[in-house]
Structure 1
Amino acid sequence: MAVRGQSSAAASLLLPPVTALLFLWMLGCGHVMAHNDLGNMTALQKHVSYFDRNKDGIITQEETFEGSVAIGFTVEYATEFAALVHGANGPITSPADAPLPHLSIYIENMQRGMHGSDTGAFDLKGRFVPQKFEEIFMKHAKTRPDGLTHSEVEDMILANRDPLDPGSWEGPEIEWGGIYKLASDNDGFLHKDDARGIYDGSVFVKLEEKRASPRSVM
C-alpha cells in the first residue's frame, strides 16, 4: 500500500515478536458506500483493494490492520503500518463530505496517494506500466533473471530515490522491504511473479492463503 512519512519501527523493516498490543481504532462505523468495481480498477486501486476487507470501496484503519496481520505482519508492525498509511493517505483520498477525521482511504481516489522515488511501474493515473516493471529485473536482477536478493531490492530502491524529494524515500523501503521479508523464498529470492503481484495486490492474497494453509509453518 502506498505510504508516506517515516517511523523508526516500520523503517527498520524488522518484524518484532508478536505482542499483546490491541488494535483500538474503530473509525469505520457509519461511513458511506464508495465505488468498488474491481473490473474497472487501475492496478494501483487493485493494489490497495486487498485491504478493503468488506469490499465497500473504503479502507478503514482496522481493515488495514486486519489485512496486514493476515499476510504475516506482527500486531505491533501492523498497528504502526496502518497508522502511517492512513495518516498519509486518508486526508488526501477522502472526499470533502466524508466523515471526519478523514483517516479512511477511498479507493476511487487512490491516485492522489502516489509518492515519488518509486519504480515508475505505475503511471500518474495508477495504471500498470509493464515496460517499467521489466526494467526492474533487467537492471537489478544480477544473480538470477527471475528473482531479486535482499541487496538487489535495496539497490533498486536506492537507484529510484529522488534526491529532491527525501520525504518520499521511506515509502518504497517499507513497501518493498516488508513484502521481501514475507514473500522471499528459502534461498533469499523475491520471485518475479511475486514482485508483479505487489502491483495488483495478488501477492497479498497469496500470502494470506499460504498462512491459512494447514501446511503453513509461519
Structure 2
Amino acid sequence: MASSSPADPSMATEAPQVAVTRERKLNPNLQEELPKPYLARALVAVDPSHPKGTEGRDPRGMSVLQQHAAFFDRNGDGVIHPWETFKGLRAIGCSFPVSLFFAFFINLALSYPTQPGWLPSPLLSIHIKNIHKGKHGSDSETYDTEGRFVPSKFDAVFSKYGQTHPNALTQDELNLMLKANRNMYDFVGWVAASAEWKLLYNVAKDKDGLLQRETVRGVFDGSLFERLQHDKKSS
C-alpha cells in the first residue's frame, strides 16, 4: 500500500512545511481501486465505481470531451450552432434567460478556436472534431489537452475538496476548488471555469445542496445531460 508518511518519502503526498498539502489530500490508494489511474482514457470516463465507464454508453469513436459536447449537437451534423446550444440547455432544465445567455457565451468562446480554417464563423458555430482546441485553463485538468479523461485528476477533485462528504462537494467546497485551480492572469479561464461549474451546480445539485461525484463524472462524458433531459421529459 502506498504511504504518505515520512518513513516512505518517495511516496509522500504531504510536505510538513506546506500546510496546503495537508489540507488538500490525495488518494494514495487510487491505483488499488482503479487500474492505471494515471492513464488518460480516450473513450470513457472511469472511476473506481465505473472502471469501464458509463454502463451501456457507446462512445461512437469520440473522445470523452467530444461526447460531452455532442449532446448539444441536436441535429447530429458535427457542428453546434447557438440555437442548438440553447435547445440543449433548455432540455436539461435551464431557464429561458440562462439558456439564452449561455448559448451566446459558450458559442462565442468556442467558435473560433474550433473552426477548421482561419476565418471566423458568422454563425458562431462550434466544430466538435476540434473541440479539444477550445479547452481553457484554470480548470480541474480532468480533460487533457486532447480531450481524454484523466482519472487521477478527477479523483483529486473530491480527495482535495470533498471534506464534508467524501464523494460530493458543497457549494463552499466548489468555490474553494475554483479559486485553487486559477492560473495567474488567466482571466478568461477563471470566468469560464466558474460559469461551467456554477451552472452545473445549479442544475444538478441534490436536495441537500450537494454536487455528487457521479453527477460530476456524468457531465464529463455527457451522460448526465441525457439523464437530466430524460428526467425533465418524464416530469
Bin of the TM-score, shorter chain as denominator length: 0.7 to 0.9
Deviation at 1:38, TM superposition (A): 4.3
Give the 3 Å change call, closer, same or farther, for CA 98–213 of structure 1 in structure 2. farther
Question: Partner amino acid for 1:143?
Answer: T
Instruction: Determine the C-alpha separation between the residues in 1 that align with 2:180 and 2:192.
Output: 14
Deviation at 1:164, TM superposition (A): 2.9
Instruction: Determine the C-alpha separation between the residues in 2 that align with 1:163 and 1:190.
Output: 27
1:123 counterpart residue number: 144
Unaligned runs of 5+ in 2: 1-57
Q: Name the larger-Rg structure.
A: 2
Deviation at 1:193, TM superposition (A): 0.5
For the aligned residue pairs, the C-alpha RMSD in angstroms reads 1.7
2:211 counterpart residue number: 190
Question: Partner amino acid for 2:179?
Answer: L
1:59 counterpart residue number: 80
Q: 1:40 and 2:48 equivalent? A: no
Unaligned runs of 5+ in 1: 1-36
Instruction: Determine the C-alpha separation between the residues in 1 that align with 2:158 and 2:78.
Output: 33
Give the 3 Å change call, closer, same or farther, for CA 100–143 of structure 1 in structure 2. closer
Does the 8 Å CA contact 1:91/1:102 hold for their aligned counterparts? no
Alignment of 1:5-44 (within 5 A): 38-44=59-65
Does the 8 Å CA contact 1:49/1:107 hold for their aligned counterparts? yes
SS in 1 for 2:183: coil
User: TM-score w.r.t. structure 2 length?
Assistant: 0.72
Question: Number of matched residues?
Answer: 178
Deviation at 1:97, TM superposition (A): 8.5
Worse-superposed segment, 166-175 or 63-72: 166-175
Instruction: Determine the C-alpha separation between the residues in 2 that align with 1:51 and 1:39.
Output: 16
2:93 counterpart residue number: 72
Does the 8 Å CA contact 1:53/1:67 hold for their aligned counterparts? yes
User: TM-score w.r.t. structure 1 length?
Assistant: 0.78
Question: Partner amino acid for 1:148?
Answer: L
Of all paired residues, the percent bearing the same amino acid is 41
Alignment of 1:1-218 (within 5 A): 38-96=59-117, 100-101=121-122, 103-214=124-235
Where has structure 1 moved over 6 Å in runs of 4 or more? none
Higher relative contact order (CA 8 A, sep 6+): 1
SS in 2 for 1:40: coil
